Structure 1
Amino acid sequence: MPLTRAEPAAGTEDTRAVSPAVDLVLGASACCLACVFTNPLEVVKTRLQLQGELQAPGTYPQPYRGFVASIAAVARADGLSGLQKGLAASLLYQGLMNSVRFYCYSLACQAGLTQQPGGTVIAGAVAGALGAFVGSPAYLVKTQLQAQTVAEMAVGHQHHHQSLLGAMETIWRQQGLAGLWRGVGGAVPRVMVGSAAQLATFASAKAWVQERQWLPEDSWLVALAGGMISSVAVVAVMTPFDVVSTRLYNQPVDGAGRGLLYRGLADCLVKIWRQEGPPALYKGLGPAYLRLGPHTILSMLFWDELRKLAR
C-alpha cells in the first residue's frame, strides 16, 4: 500500500512536482505492475484463509499446509497458470483502488492536511477507505475466482465463474447492483488499518535502517529493508480483517443476496474465534507478509521510475 508522498523513498524526488491527476495514473500503474509478480501469493493466501471455514480445528481436511507446500499444491491441482488465477480481477482492483487512494492522498498533501499532527495517518486511512469501496466489486470477483479449484482441493464455497466479466454479470443478474458490493464492510476496515499502519511505520523503519548504516544511504535496498520491517506491523494489524474480508466475499448467498454463513464483520469475527480458535484470524499470515513487502517495494520502485519518465 505505497502512499509515500509525505516521506519519499530514498533516492526519489519531491512528489509535489507531479500533479494529483498524474499521480493517479502512475500510482495505479505501478501497483498493477507489482500485482503481476505478487498475485500467486494472493492465490495461496486466499486458499489458506478459507481452509477450515466454520469447522473446529483438527476436524477438517487440510489440502494446504504451509507456504511452500501450498504453492506446490496449487500448481499440481490447477497447473502453473493456476498461480495466476484471478489476475485480471486483481489488476482491476489494484487500478481502481490505488487510483482513488493516490488521487485523494495527493489532494490532501496539496491542501496541507498531511502537515498537521496525525494528518498523514488520517489522510492515508480515509484515502484507503475510499479506494477500498470503489474497488470492492473487483476484489469480490478476485476472491471468488482464486478460491475455485478441483473438487479434491476445494476450500470454501465454489462459485464456478468462468471469467471476470462473466462473474460480474452473474452477480449483477442474481443479486443486483448491491451484490457487487457485498462484503465491503470487511474490506474498508482492512485497507484503513493497513494504510494507517504502513504510513505510521514506514518512514521510521527506513530512518532506523539508515541510522545503522548497513546499506548505502541512497540505495533502493534501504527502502526495501524499511518496507519489510514496516510490513510486520501492517500484517499484524491487517491479517484478521483480511481473513474476515475473504470469508465475507466468498460466502454463498440466498435469493435476496444475504450471506448464508455470516451476517457481517462482527458476526464473522465471532464465529471464526469461537469455532476455529483465535489463531484462525491469522491464517495466511506467511504469504500475506511475503506478498506485502515485495508488493510495496515493487510498487514504490515502479512508481518512482514512471514518475521520472513522466518528467
Structure 2
Amino acid sequence: MGDRDWRPFIYGGLASIVAEFGTFPIDTTKTRLQIQGQAIDPRHVELRYSGMVDCFVKTSRQEGIKALYCGIWPAVLRQATYGTIKFGTYYSLKKALAQRRADGGAVEHLPTNTFCAAFAGGLSSAIANPTDVLKVRMQMGDEKRNLVRCFIDIYRIEGVRGLWRGVGPTSQRAAVIAAVELPVYDACKHRLKPALGDTPANHLASSLLASLGSAVASTPLDVIRTRMMNQRNVKDGVEPCEKIYKGTIDCFLRTVRSEGPPALYKGFVPTWLRMGPWNIIFFLSYEQLKQLY
C-alpha cells in the first residue's frame, strides 16, 4: 500500500475512538430506553425510565456514574475495527471510483458516494458485530462487567451465533447510517466551501446536518437490532431460554403490533443527541489528522 492508501483507515479508527469516549453515556441511555417496555419480554416489560434525562439520573444514582460507561471497552474495540474499516473503505473506494469518472472526482457524485458508504458501513458492521453484542449486554447490566468474562459466557452459553446475534439489522442499520451520513457530510462540506472554506466551522455545520439525517433514517433499525442482540438463545445441553424474535422482520412486526409504530423511535432523542456530538468530534478529529499528517 502506498502512503495515501492506509491513512483513511488509521485516521478513521483514531477519530472514531475519540468520539466514542466523548459520547458513550448518551449511548447507554439510548440502549436502555430501547430495551424497556417490551410487552412480550418479561425481563424488560417495565418502563423504568420516562426519558433520556430520567434514565441518566436514575442510572447514576442507583448504579453509580461508572454504570454509564459500562460496556465502553467493547465499544472502543468496536470502533477500532468498525471505524477503521468503515471510513477507510469509504474514502479509499470513493477515491478509486472517482478517478474513473470523467471529472476525475472534482465534483461530489451522490450515487457513487451513497454506494461506497452503504457498502463500507454494512461490511464493517458485520465484521465488528461481536463487539456490539458485548456492548449492548454490558450496558444493560445483565452480564459481568469484565469484557473477557462476558465474551466467554456468551460463547459458552450461546455459541458462535450468540456473538453474531442481530448481525442482519446491525449491518442494515450501519449501511443506512453510512449511506446518509457520509454523502451528506461530503456534499454539505463541498457546498459550504465557498462561504466557509475548509475550516472547522464548515466541518461543524456539515456534521450536524449529517447526524440529523442519519438519526431519522436509522433509529427504527437501531431499536430492532438492540432488542435482538439483548435476547438469549442458548446452546443445547444448557438450560433453555425462549427466543422471542425469529428475525429482523418478526421483531419489527411484533414491536409494532404490541407497542405501536412510535416504539420504533424509542431512544430517538439520545440517538440524535449522541450522533450530533459523535459526528462533530469524529469529523473535526478526522479533518485535523488529515491536515497534520
TM-score for the superposition, normalised by structure 1: 0.82
Matches within 5 A, 1:1-311: 19-54=4-39, 61-113=46-98, 115=105, 118-148=111-141, 158=142, 160-206=143-189, 216-256=196-236, 260-309=243-292, 311=293
The Cα shift of 1:127 comes to 0.6
Structure 2 residues without counterparts, runs of 5 or longer: 100-104
Q: Which runs of 5+ in 1 are unaligned?
A: 1-16, 149-157
Kindly provide the amino acid, as one letter, of the partner of residue 230 in structure 1: A
Distance in 2 (CA, whole Å) between partners of 1:101 and 1:230 is 16
Partner AA of 2:116 in structure 1: A
Deviation (angstroms), 1:141? 0.4
> For residues 54 and 113 of structure 1, do their structure 2 counterparts lie closer, same or farther at Cα, with a shift above 3 Å needed?
farther
Deviation at 1:65, TM superposition (A): 1.3
The answer to whether the 8 Å contact 1:101/1:130 transfers is yes
Shift of 1:19: 2.0
Q: Is the 8 A contact 1:113 1:120 kept in 2?
A: no
Letter in 2 for 1:142: K
Change over 3 Å in CA distance of 1:113–1:222 after alignment to 2: closer
Q: Provide TM-score, normalisation by structure 2.
A: 0.87
Looking at structure 2, the residues matched to 34 and 217 of structure 1 have their Cα atoms a distance apart, in angstroms, of 24
Measured at CA, do residues 78 and 203 of structure 1 come closer, stay the same or move farther in structure 2, by a change above 3 Å?
Answer: same
Cα offset for 1:99? 1.3
RMSD: 2.5
Contact 2:10 2:84 in 1 (8 A): yes
Q: Indicate the larger mover: 76-85 or 275-284.
A: 76-85
Q: Label 1:165 to 1:113 Cα distance change in 2 as closer, same or farther (>3 A).
A: farther
Give the SS at the match of 2:128.
helix
Distance in structure 2 (CA, Å) of the matches to 1:18 and 1:45: 39
Alpha-carbon distance in 2 for matches of 1:120, 1:258: 43
Letter in 2 for 1:88: W
User: 2:110·2:183 contact (CA, 8 Å) conserved in 1?
Assistant: no
Question: Greater RCO between the two (CA within 8 Å, min separation 6)?
Answer: 1
Structure 1 residues 258 and 134, CA gap change in structure 2 (3 angstroms)? farther
Q: Which amino acid aligns with 2:133?
A: L
CA contact (8 A) 2:158 2:232 kept: no
SS in 1 for 2:50: coil
Q: Percent identity?
A: 29
Residues 18-72 of structure 1, C-alpha deviations (whole Å, 9 max, x = no match): 623222122101100110010000100000000101359xx95422112222211
